[in-house]
Chains A and B, each alone.
Chain A
Amino acid sequence: MSAATAAMSGDRLCPRDEADVAETVRWAASEGRTLDVAGRRSKAALGRAIQTDFTLELAALSGVTLYEPEELVLSARAGTPVAEIAALVAGANQMMAFEPMDFGPLLGQKAGAGTLGGLLACNLAGPRRPSAGAARDHALGIRAVSGRGEVFKAGGRVVKNVTGYDLPRGLAGSHGTFAAFTEITIKVLPRPETVETLLILGLDDAAAAGAMSAAVGSYYDVSGAAHVPGDVAQTLPALAGIGRAVTALRLEGVQPSILHRRGKLEALLRARGELAFLDADASRAFWLAIRDVLPFAASGGGEVGGEVGGEVGGATARAERDARVIWRVSVAPMAGARIGAAVRTVGGRCFYDWAGGLVWIEMPCTEPQASLVRQAVSAAGGGHATLIRAAAPVRAAQEVFQPLDAITGALVRRMKSGFDPAGVLSPGRMYAGM
């Protein structure tokens, strides 16, 4: 088969184990072929749109290889579904504390399709990010195959480890462009016994940022702080009947502690606006919606069941998705509201997580949106903006990830040529020509 026909047919290579992965990458390097590194392809539409000769699909490298709840540690092969791991650790009253988001609903895919490898390759996190960290903060060790087709390991299986460079962290967010993970060890933590959410109603974005800052900076261990402006709140079933902007503060832990903290927080915030509550069930539904960006989920996205990796809905659903793009912006928490103001000038909508620092934006697919968003980020004191959902041509025409300055860009290119000198692994997924 020639490379050209392989590319056109989008061939999938499905190695059975780590040795297969290494052999396949070595072959590709020697033959000048390119591989798009994937788990179960649930996030294939994330990143720059690229064409490779083959997709290297790691779904067969599946299964938990070590789980010791009393040691707070779990190892699994990279293709293991995140949902399987979440269910296993929940059985021991534990969790992945960084609350990894599921991109499925947002990208028009099934929910629950992501793999552990994809989770680290995309450095996923959720509403607990400010207090608990992201995937990067919970990855203890990796085994991986670099673009040289060599198997290497880094890190270990213990929580506290400074032996050698922290490659598990360094490769978090590398989107498969440096190495294909084959096995990952993560830290797990006890699940909170219960959860409640204190709501402040009717605040504008700036007032909400102030309230969230006061709450997160208080003694009362707020483990989630999100603000949903009125236009978005109306579309969220978890907030049905409220009809106004909602600023949500999550309290997790043991019941006596939550009662205590709720009382204190009420006293702290009462002057800022009308208060309301979500009980445990309503809280879980609300924070799942924030985590998975359900207010902007594609119609039909997030259904459970059916074949993984397949697009949900038909051409209409796709056209609907493509008409409005999704951006994810991270700035200093108090600067978030400025991003929201900027995107509203062009008909965009947004909501905020991470006490205001994470801005999820849905806006019309018109030019020049990238410069508008990135200029707003720069004017707000810096951060990063990623184009999360857009039609392939849109993702091919502009920088999807926050552009690197010249010096850092050159550094990253040198790293890439060290790990993947032949440019085998997902070339162009993050940055053009790399």
Chain B
Amino acid sequence: MNMLRRNILKGASAAGTLAIAAGLFGTGNAFAAYNTAAFGAKSVADALKGMGAATPTDSKDIAIKAPDIAENGAVVPVEVTSKIAGTTSIAILAEKNPNPLVASFKLENGAEPYISTRIKMGQTAMIRAVVTAGGKTYTTAKEVKVTIGGCGG
């Protein structure tokens, strides 16, 4: 874990000193604040707290599309669609991964409340989506059974 943090810190300072990095990422310091607290968290509760979404409300307006059974935990396709008006961010967590928070996406300027990606899962667990809309957080979860884990190995 410390190794990881070291690397992230190193990465951050390197990007800061390189003018070219700022040029590449149009919005300049958009990447300045990698949420180390949330991504380094070892429990779902801590990860949610790190994201500032400690107590999200359960919502049926978020749909998670993922296989019921994933044969290969290293590649689990996940699609999250939110029907909540004013959705500004979507985060994906795999509850039993060593670090549950997988990714968070901030959506703006016309981006639809939809994200599709592929994630790794260590074992059978709930996949949880956390959506932020209008300053409130909503969540839903879906179980994915994993027959071969994607972490470790």
Whether A and B are associated in the same complex: the answer reads no
Q: Which residues of A contact B (CB under 8 A)?
A: none
Q: Which residues of B contact A (CB under 8 A)?
A: none
